[in-house]
Amino acid sequence: MATTNKGFSWIPRILTMLIILFISMFALDAFSPELNLWQQLSDFVMHLIPSFLLVILLIIAWKRELIGGILFTLLGLIMSPFIYSMNYDRNHNVLMSLGIILAICLPIIVAGILFIISSTKKEQVFPTR
């Protein structure tokens, strides 16, 4: 049973790494021919701030799965209305705004739930006294 949990505990970690790569991909739009190199690099680093936050949360979740899972789930739920309103103001399309939430927030929420499940499975295999 412990081997099953070890395999399962890697699923939220790998999913989170893929989420970080996906979010980091949006930072590539900081490169523009109109800007000089230092402006492009500063814009690139600024666009990577959400990825840095997710890396910090991944480190926390790696050590403390339950706390990290709760933080990831809360982050995804808290981000959803902000991302929806920002995108709805831009495109005035409900379905497109919901699709963007599904692409960005839902994987973060799923990763958080998987971290929580992994934590509870670990407690079932190795009960604390």
CA–CA separation, 103 vs 86, rounded Å?
15
How many separate domains does the chain show?
1
Q: What is the pLDDT of residues 35-73, one digit of tens each?
A: 899 999 999 999 999 999 999 999 999 999 999 999 999
Q: Is residue 39 part of a domain?
A: yes
Q: How confident is the model at residue 74 (pLDDT cuts 50, 70, 90)?
A: very high
Q: Which residues contact 29 (CB under 8 A, 6 or more apart)?
A: 47
Q: Is residue 106 part of a domain?
A: yes
CA distances from residue 65 to 41, 46, 91, 109, 117 in whole angstroms, order as listed: 34, 28, 37, 14, 9
- Tell me the residue range of the domain where 94 lies: 11-123
Q: Is residue 76 part of a domain?
A: yes
Q: What is the pLDDT of residues 115-126, one digit of tens each?
A: 999 999 887 766
CA–CA separation, 12 vs 95, rounded Å?
28
* Four-point Cα dihedral 41, 59, 69, 76, nearest 10: 0
